[in-house]
Amino acid sequence: MAAFNVHKTILEAEKEGYDGIVIASFGDPGIEAAKEIVEIPVVGITESSYSLARLLCTKFLVVVSADTAVPRQVRYLKALGYPDHQFDVRSIGLTIIDVMSDRMNIPEVLAKSCGPALKETGAELVVLGCSGFSGFRKDLEDLLQIPVIDPIIAGVNVCESLIRMGLKQSKQATYKNPPVFTIKE
C-alpha cells in the first residue's frame, strides 16, 4: 500500500523540480521501483542508515518499535547483503502510535532495551529503526555512550551528498527505466 503512494509522490516531486528524494519510512517501501521511475537520486532512510553503520563499526544493533518489524528488517538486511554476524535487530514492543503518543519517555525506553542487547550481542552502534525515533540520537548517545544513527538525518545527508557530487542511481541495468505500456480498456 505504501509503495503506491511513494511512487506517485516521487513522480510528482520530480516533475516539480526536486533534486532528490528521501523515502522517510523505515524499511524503504517501494525503493527498488522508485529508483527505476525517476532520473533524480532516490535514497531510503533504512539503506542509508545501514550503509553508514557498516562504515562505522563491525556489528550494529537495529532497534525497531514493533515486534512485527524484526523479521522484515532481518530480511531487508540480508537482501542488502549484510551477513548475520554484522547486525542484530531488537524491538521495544511498541506500535508507532504508542511511540508518537509518548515521545517524552521514548529515549529511556530505547536505552532500557538497547543496553542489555548491546552487551548480549557485542554491537558497537545503534541504528534507530523507526522514523518515529528521529530526534532521539543525542539523548540515546548520552545514555548509552556509543554512536547512534538517526535514520532521517542519515537519509537526508546521504541524499544531499549524492546531489552535491552529481550522482544518482545507475540506469545501466538494475534501475533502468521500465518500459511504458498502454492499457486498453
Closest by CA position to 47, among listed 30, 71, 66: 30
Per-residue pLDDT of 70-102, as tens digits, reads 999 999 999 999 999 999 999 999 888 888 888
The pLDDT value recorded for residue 158 is 98
Per-residue exposure over 124-133, b if at least 16 CB sit within 10 Å of its own CB, e if not = ebbbbbbbbb
pTM listed for this prediction: 0.92
Tens digits of residue pLDDT in 52-65: 999 999 999 999 99
Fold (CATH) for 45-150: Rossmann fold (3.40.50)
Over its length of 185 residues, how does the chain's per-residue pLDDT go in tens digits? Answer: 567 788 899 999 999 999 999 999 999 999 999 999 999 999 999 999 999 999 999 999 999 999 999 999 999 999 999 999 999 999 999 888 888 888 888 999 999 999 999 999 999 999 999 999 999 999 999 999 999 999 999 999 999 999 999 999 999 999 999 888 887 87
Instruction: Kindly report, as residue ranges, where domains of CATH 3.40.50.12500 are found in the chain.
Output: 45-150
